[in-house]
Amino acid sequence: MIDPTIPYARTSNHQGIQVPGHRMGPRLRRSKVYGGGSMGKKSGYADLMLTPMVDMFTLLVVYLIQSFSSTGEILHMSKELVMPTAKHGKEMALLPVVTIAGDSIIMEGTTVADISDLMSGNNRDPDWRIPGLEDKLRDLRERYIAIRNNAPAAENPNAGPDPTTSVNIQGDKALPFRILKRVMHTCQLAGYGNIHFAVVQGGDPKGTSGEDLGKLLHAGDEG
Amino acid sequence: MGGAAPVEGKGKKKSLDAVINLVPFIDLLSSLIAFLLMTAVWTQIATLQVGQQGSNNPNPTPPPEEIPKLSIAVSDRGFVLASGADQVPVEKAGNDYDFDALNKKLGEIKGNVPEMNDVTVMPEDGIVYDVLVRVIDACLGARMLNVTLQPPST
């Protein structure tokens, strides 16, 4: 019998108002304590979508192999040395490296001269010569020539710049030319007349940017 | 995953489907990715080759006499391009060097004299390495490949 004075009365067994404390929430209802989970015991293993993961791994490997390069190993990059950028540089060759960073001129990991010392009044050489650097370069050149004479068969005319006449100079962006010209002149005195300025390759001709990774991924999606 | 599982009948026919074991393949890929990420070089290093005035070049190729030589003087005021008696100043744009104008001038010169390959860059003592590199880069961009550095005082 429905009481017309009660607007929320139902004809079914459902009650409009339930007593607090007797109604379970959905999470509690599904819990094992209250016998929930009518599909039986849930497996402890999660399904892993292996196909897209393997696709992604393969794309990553292809991209990383494509951008693999060993030229960066020739130079030692330090925080205090910011190299200039150029668009039309050539690939770096394995040559002796003269680094001008901060207050030091470094050759093969050894500081051969201090810039402040060179520019002080009593050490201004009118010939622009840096004795420590010249000695080190001459020593290195003699060693290269001795190695070459011992193994003449290894000489290849297409092997790139000659390491006995060419040198890499790695300098900071803010390095003034008055220092650079002394380093270059000293290199020339030691027999290294071909100077290669190390720069950061701009313009990205080798396809190693994030944009190229995006293109590669997009191509993978289309495939 | 990795191929359908073979359904064996009751000794009738053997299924041709094979299960590919993906675990070693994923192991290999993971190892490769770790190795390549560790050895990756994100900064590409290049070099700009320059000669020096009076350097002992083993294979000197003297240019023909009729091709004029181009020199670029770099000073605090800007650039001065000189070829023979002609001089073209490229002043600074504000506080910065006007490399766009320099590129344009070099392109015009190369267009007028395509045989011109030799450029002598003469920076003052106070010119910083960055400006020098950008001038050399502009010369190489204009296909003037034999760049020589010479201090103005020599």
Respond yes or no on whether ipTM tops 0.90.
Answer: no
List CB contacts (< 8 A) between A174 and chain B.
Answer: 128-130
Amino acid at B148: T
pLDDT confidence of A115, banded at 50, 70, 90?
confident
Question: Alpha-carbon distance B65 to B55, whole Å?
Answer: 20
Inter-chain CB proximity B45 and A75 less than 8 Å: yes
Helices B22-39 & A50-66 angle (0-180, nearest 10): 30
Which residue among A50, A83, A161 places its CB closest to the CB of B1?
Answer: A50
CB contact under 8 A, A172 and B129: yes
B101 vs B151: which has the higher pLDDT: B101
B residues 103-132 lying closer than 8 A (beta carbon) to A: 123-130, 132
**In the predicted model, is pLDDT for residue A59 greater than 90?**
yes
Cβ of A69 within 8 Å of Cβ of B41? The answer is: yes
Q: Do A177 and B40 touch (CB under 8 A)?
A: no
Stretch 81-120 of chain A: residues touching chain B, C-beta under 8 Å = 83-93
CA–CA dist A117, A120 (Å, integer): 5
Q: Which two tokens stand for residue A12?
A: 């079914």
pLDDT tens figures, B27-44? 999 999 999 888 877 777
Question: Contact A97/A168 with Cβ under 8 angstroms?
Answer: yes
B137: which chain A residues are within 8 Å (Cβ-Cβ)?
86-89, 199
Nearest of B153, B149, B152 to residue B53 by alpha carbon: B149
Q: Tell which wins on pLDDT, A138 or A11.
A: A138
